[in-house]
Amino acid sequence: MSGQPKDLRGTGLESADFKKGRVFTEYYVPKLQYAWDTGEAIGRYLAELKNGRLIARRCNRCKRNLIPPRMFCERCFRTTDDWVFVQDTGKVNTFSLCYVSWDVQRLKVPEIPAVIEIDGAFPGAGIMHKLGNVKPKDVRVGMRVRAVWKPAAERTGSITDIKYFEPMKDSKRKQAAGKAKRK
């Protein structure tokens, strides 16, 4: 903390106060080993990612394919019915140009987290991932994209088995044609 706030009660502390033992402190290395049960829906979802496929759960009443898959339809208040494979293509629903890394370092080249509406899932349903192989200024909502997968031997059953989503070439062409028309 730099300086003492004048109008706040209490005692301001600086890093040096802790290092020099002016304040009671306790140091330890926590043992943070834990197990996480993925559950039925996400377990299958992750296993299929390792196979290079996207899988959803279908609710036969509202006829929606849910991705990421869930065993329960929150609209119909009932158990979902079937597993269905969906495409590894889709369109950008929303995105962000992120110039700050996860550990708060400034980035010159932004990360582009995006929600991808997956082809075959119900409209508006999407998964969070990131975009790659695209210039930040070229990213658009509605842009058609496809998954770029890691090689099979490197996949671990994780969402990062997809490296990123990249624009589909025909999408680029259509965009260029669209721009030409608007001019």
Q: Provide the binding-site residues for Zn ion, judged by CB under 5 A.
A: 59, 61-62, 73, 75-76
* Nearest-approach distance from CB 81 to Zn ion, in angstroms: 9
90 exposed, middle or buried (CB, 10 Å; 0-12, 13-18, 19+)? buried
Instruction: State the CB neighbour count (10 A cutoff) for residue 30.
Output: 5
Residues 175, 140 contacting (CB under 8 angstroms): yes
144 close to 91: Cβ distance less than 8 angstroms:
yes
CB nearer to Zn ion: give 19 or 61: 61
70 or 129, CB closer to Zn ion? 70
Nearer to Zn ion, 75 or 174 (CB): 75
Which DSSP letter does residue 7 get? Answer: T
Closest distance of CB 127 from Zn ion, Å: 19
Sign of CA dihedral 51, 72, 123, 116: negative
Q: How far is the CB of 73 from Zn ion (least distance, A)?
A: 3
CB nearer to Zn ion: pick between 79 and 96: 79
Q: 58 forms bridges with which residues in the sheet?
A: 65, 82
- How far is it, in rounded angstroms, from Cα 57 to Cα 158? 18
Q: Tell the smallest beta-carbon distance from residue 64 to Zn ion (Å).
A: 6
Distance CA 107, CA 130 (A): 15
Residue placing its CB nearer to Zn ion in the complex, 73 or 92: 73
Query: At closest approach, how far in Å is the CB of 128 from Zn ion?
Result: 22
